[in-house]
Amino acid sequence: MALPRRGPRTRRAAAGGDSNASVLSGATTSATIDSVDLQLLDSKLTELGEPRYRSGQVWRWAARGAAGFSEMSDLPIELRDTLAGAVPFSSLTVEREARASDGTVKALFCTADGRPVEAVLMRYRDGRRSLCLSSQSGCPLTCTFCATGQMKFGRNLTASEILDQALHFRRVSEVDHAVFMGMGEPMMNLDNVLAACERLPDIGISHRRTAISTIGWIPGIERLAADPMPIRLALSLHAADETLRTELMPVNERYPLPDVIAACEAHYEHKRRKVFVEYVMLAGVNDSFAQAAQLADILDPRRFKVNLIPYNPTGSGYTGSSPKAIAAFRDELERRGLDATVRLTRGRDIDAACGQLAARARLAVTVAEADVAGAAT
């Protein structure tokens, strides 16, 4: 959806650009809220001699789940027709969609330039409706257990492309939580992610019910800490030992764990909200009793909460830990005073569809019930 302008974003510009040029070589880094769509809608409205408030009207309809311009009954009917013919209603087209019996819906979209983007809607018995959103098409990082990390990096998504994932699901259901745990590293596209976050409350998702997950991209963690929006920070940690973490997540060499933990602690000091640590459980790799103790040693229970993630096999050569091993790991963390939960797996019965949705792309089928619940607290 085209986004109406909401004043200059000088605050973020002043906070400094991402220092990610080397990793992002070849990526589109410039687009922020000024997406192609916005320019198209704004220029079309100007060309038609329409008043400035029109683009705000269009956005309010879209944010409430309108399926197209034709539903926007407070716009003159000729204008609705003209816009329908001139401005694409979404920057994304739906390529595939899969529905699980537990209410999970996974969508594979395609951008105007042919890039794959995935997003998931999870519905819970207690009524929560949570979205898992992508920030990039593919990912420039190369975490060895992650299917997105193994596919070719495309580019950063624009704010419109991020919001259009949410708007797609908003058209079928009210939504109230969002996590940036789909494709990509949100901190490497933080301008666009935050621009999208600013709009999420219009769709029904407050900042407190929004979580951004990162591999530990320190400049992004610092910027999020300084941002006034009370967004939850989640850290993908996966190994307390530096050598093992570098093996699993090569980016650890760039941002060593002690520095990442310090940045997360500073985030806690600013926001007073616990940082959620994600820890994917890999059999015989990071799931031993000693590794639980090591993890507990580096995390302050007042500032961190751990969410253990059952591994979703991707053909990477890793095997997921057994439920017994996961429970023992959790018990050891709890015995040492850390809050620890095990992520519920959603959408199991549509796992098979993942391959159909995007040839090599991982779909976030195991997005956290616990994470999402926590994002609300």
Which residues belong to the active site?
A: 118, 354
Is residue 93 within a helix (H) or strand (E), and if so which, with residue range?
Answer: strand 92-99
For residue 75, list its beta bridge partners. none
Nearer of residues 54 and 330 to ligand SAH, judged by Cβ: 330
CA distances from 133 to 178, 246, 363 (A): 7, 26, 10
Nearer of residues 84 and 298 to ligand SAH, judged by Cβ: 298
- DSSP designation for 12: H
Pairing mode of beta strands 136-137, 275-281:
unpaired
224 φ/ψ angles, rounded to the nearest 5 degrees: -65, -40
Q: Minimum Å distance from CB 277 to ligand SAH?
A: 9
Q: Minimum Å distance from CB 278 to ligand SAH?
A: 4
* Cβ proximity of 45 and 78 under 8 Å: no
Q: Minimum Å distance from CB 132 to ligand SAH?
A: 8
Binding site residues, ligand SAH, CB under 6 A: 145-146, 181, 185, 213-215, 236, 278, 280, 309, 311-312, 314, 362, 366
Using DSSP's 3-state secondary structure scheme, residue 279 falls into strand
276 φ/ψ angles, rounded to the nearest 5 degrees: -90, 125
Burial 28-42 (b: 16+ CB within 10 A, else e): bbebbbbbbbbebbb
Nearer of residues 294 and 345 to ligand SAH, judged by Cβ: 345
275 φ/ψ angles, rounded to the nearest 5 degrees: -85, 135
Q: Minimum Å distance from CB 348 to ligand SAH?
A: 13
Name the nearest CA neighbour of 119 among 175, 70, 42.
Answer: 175
Q: How far is C-alpha 290 from the geometric centre of its chain's CA atoms? A: 31
- Please return the burial class of 343, using the count of CB atoms within 10 Å of its CB with bins 0-12, 13-18 and 19+: buried
Nearer of residues 3 and 277 to ligand SAH, judged by Cβ: 277
Instruction: Give the chain's largest Cα–Cα span.
Output: 69
Nearer of residues 33 and 151 to ligand SAH, judged by Cβ: 151
CA-CA-CA-CA torsion sign (227, 36, 114, 60): positive
Q: Minimum Å distance from CB 173 to ligand SAH?
A: 22
Q: Minimum Å distance from CB 141 to ligand SAH?
A: 7
Q: Minimum Å distance from CB 312 to ligand SAH?
A: 4
At what angle are helices 257-271 and 289-298 packed, to 10 degrees?
A: 50
**Sheet (strand 177-180) strand order:** 92-99, 105-111, 116-123, 129-132, 177-180, 210-214, 232-236, 275-281, 304-310, 339-342
Nearer of residues 42 and 118 to ligand SAH, judged by Cβ: 118
Nearer of residues 91 and 214 to ligand SAH, judged by Cβ: 214
